Amino acid sequence: MQRRRSMFKRLRLFLSVLFMISTCILILSSEQMAKNPFDADYPPGILPAIVLQGTDYEMGMQYGEQAASFLIKAKREKWSAALENFSREEVLQALKANQYYIKEYTPEWITFMRGMANGAVSKGYDITYTDILLMNCTLPKPETSQYPEGADKDTLPPKKCSVCSAWGSATKTGQLIGVDTLDSSEVPYGVVIIAFPDKGNSYICAADAGEIGDHFLMNNQGLFIGNSGGGSSPRDIDYDYGLCWSCSLPYLARFANSAEEAKDMVMQWHINLPENFHFVDTDGIAYVVEKTSALQSVRKPGDFGEKNFLYSTNNYLNKNMKVTKEGGFIKQHGGYGAYAAPRNQMIWDMLHNYHGQIDVEFAKMILRFPGEAPPEPPAGGWEAMFCRPSNLWTAVVTPHKGDQGIARICTGPVGSVLHASEASDESTMNPTYQYVDGTHTFYQLRLAASPLETVREARNEAKQSISEAYRELMYLNFTDSGYAALEKVYGLANAEYYAGRDALQQARLSSGNQALAWLSLAVTFFTRCQAHAAQVKEALVAPATSPSDLGLRPFGGDWAEWETRIK
């Protein structure tokens, strides 16, 4: 439970956040306060949004137009990485093989990608369909991969992550709550995609710019989709040409109406590398499909003692997947594969021992845990957590079968206190922070019935966030340490609100793709406003970083059994 801090404690907290906020202010000077983040020369610390609506080609065209400046950066990055290991001819041959599977399983994306390329070209950028295809494929070793028959005659027209979910008796109200983190050592130019296709479900997801989609994902049928890499395998056959996550995941969100349908669809596909597909819907049906290019298995709640919850990180739990890992099963819930086992054990402890106490604030807390360094060794924290230096973005979602689904999104790790992260294989991830102007705060989007209604909801949430920030800021005096820095961030939030309001007015006066572009800019400014307003509020009223902060019994206490190493 949050409590109002004394003035003395507030001032101490100012000093700890002053450097981070001052850095943000130096980057976002008064002349830049409400500039379009797509114009930035560095990955945005608050993910911008793009709004898509229409046919496959129309949505692709809108994507290309709205995110063109990010796509050209993604093109350089992808080609540079590819040509480090392959010749250009080898890359083109691999793309043909991957295109074969896209045509076979998710053919709508071929037209979508053509639209993306044309949209970027219309804005003056040199981007081709082949470039976009490269952004939506992986390149396995040719010598150990099976080239699909006939693919060479085709033409090319001019993941470390953590997921969990809880519902029913596990949550306070029975509401489905999904938690998803996307982790990587490289920071992309990311976006949030809000899509309203002519055919299929509306959905929201995050993605590297150029990807059709990535995780997290939620659709208007009440389906939450999480995804995580399955970890490395010693077997070459577990990697192959196949369908990449950036094509499979948004396709599932768009065309699967339930967890059952999503499971059945993905099990028919040949994918390119080890992954976990995490599906749960508002009817309480849930599965994790553990899958490689050569092997797959399904698990469901209860298989390992879970009661109305599931988790999946970067390894496998089912016995038949053991051949893809070295070593045995770790404790009761760690799974096969030492690197990810501590995260599995921690989330088991959270969702099992606090059964019935889980709500949205509890889910956010998981993404900040453990907060302050624990008193016992190791000084770096309790092994590897969901809150890690490599978090590119995190999400807490509450799906709804209709237009009330909400996604709460933070760019980078939510926790501002980051520790070295130690895994069971003795690898260590040292604390760092990868975003130039990040906030460690959530913004909120509702997947409403239409693009305009989604933007209006973001506007309303922005107004509420400003109000909450103002209420806390006004407890300070002008002479208080830290006041000036916080006041500038508060001013930034207000400036972004007015920029969003102006963009919304422009959208109402426009039509077609131009109107959608204005709506995208409006929702981007409204969500930036939310994140900056929350930054002010949370500098004054610290958010929960442990169950104790929510009034619950302490994590690691003698009131329960724990798999997490706490001493």
- Give DSSP secondary structure letters for 5-45: PPHHHHHHHHHHHHHHHHHHHHHS-GGGTT--GGG-SS--S
Q: Structure pTM?
A: 0.91
Beta strands in 200-257 (DSSP E): 203-208, 214-219, 223-229
Assigned token pair, 63: 């994507």
Please give the pLDDT value at position 424: 53
Please give the pLDDT value at position 373: 52
Please give the pLDDT value at position 186: 77
Please give the pLDDT value at position 371: 61
Residues 226, 163: contact at Cβ < 8 Å?
yes
- 3-state SS string over 61-119? HHHHHHCHHHHHHHHHHHHHHHHHHCCHHHHHHHHHHHHHHHHHHCCHHHHHHHHHHHH
Report the alpha-carbon distance of residue 479 to residue 123 in Å, rounded.
48
With a cut of 70, list the residues of the chain below it in pLDDT.
1-34, 150-160, 371-384, 417-432, 566-567
Report the alpha-carbon distance of residue 61 to residue 115 in Å, rounded.
4
Please give the pLDDT value at position 154: 59
Please give the pLDDT value at position 1: 39
